[in-house]
Amino acid sequence: MVDWLIHLAALFAGVAFLLALTRFIKGPSAADRVVAFDVLTIISITGIVLAALTEGRGIYLDVALVYALLSFLGVIVVARYLEGGF
Amino acid sequence: MTMLLDIIGGLLLVAGTAFLLFGGLGLVRMPDVFNRIQAGTKATTLGTLLTLAGATCLQPAWGVKLLLIGLFLLFTNPLSSQVLARAAHRSGAGKSEKTSIDRLEEDQRKKP
């Protein structure tokens, strides 16, 4: 029962990842691509948590935390670059 | 009791990832950058927090780390969406004709 629910959640997250990836490829301006990148990283954090649940290994959560930190920094840096000034 | 907690956790996981799905759908369907920021960051923040709550119900021993990730996302996601919106406005991203109100542009026109 619970395994089935986790698999359904992983399916939803995968479809959301593909939708965001289409916007990331298609996006007309650079700002669209940065928004899509932000959403992709958030979905990836959820994916890492789901992987930790299915494998039953809590150490993967540290990976999710570091990934959240680095993706946040990346989005801030690219947004500041788009503004045209540091 | 554990069975009930497992089912609640699984349902929270599915609800959270459904919000992620709606966020991705909004990212594809919305007309311009600012609407995409609205759809992309708010829905995915709620979706990720619900998923972390569901994971806490399934594995209560991981609660502290999951709470840490949730707090971090709760602090950084609005910040990054605000910085993105400012960058999009300053880099002159196009607005669709449905986006009719732009208070920042009105203020800038009033006092140059």
**Average pLDDT, integer, range B66-86:** 91
Q: Is B111 left (phi over 0), alpha (psi -120 to 50) or beta?
A: beta
**How far apart are alpha carbons B63 and A14 in whole angstroms?**
25
Which element (helix H / strand E) includes A41? helix A30-55
Instruction: Say whether pLDDT at B37 is over 70.
Output: yes
- Record: fold of A2-83: Helix Hairpins (1.10.287)
Residue given tokens 């979706």 in the structure block: B47
Instruction: Determine contact: A80 vs chain B, CB below 8 A.
Output: yes
Q: Name the residue ranges covered by the structural domains of chain B.
A: 2-91
**Average pLDDT, integer, range A9-20:** 93
Instruction: Determine contact: A50 vs chain B, CB below 8 A.
Output: yes
Residues with Cβ within 8 Å of B74's Cβ and at least 6 positions away in sequence, in order, are B45, B49
Q: Which of B8, B20, B22 should we substitute to test contact with A (largest number of A Cβ atoms within 10 Å)?
A: B20
List the one residue out of B32, B33, B40, B39 whose CA is nearest residue B88.
B33
Interface of B with A in 80-109 (CB under 8 A): 80-81, 83-84, 86-88, 90-91, 93-94
Q: Name the residue ranges covered by the structural domains of chain A.
A: 2-83
- Which carries the bigger pLDDT value, residue B54 or residue A82? B54
- Mean model confidence pLDDT for chain A: 89
Looking at residue B105, its pLDDT comes to 74
Q: Mind telling me how many Å the CA of B99 is from chain A's nearest CA?
A: 16
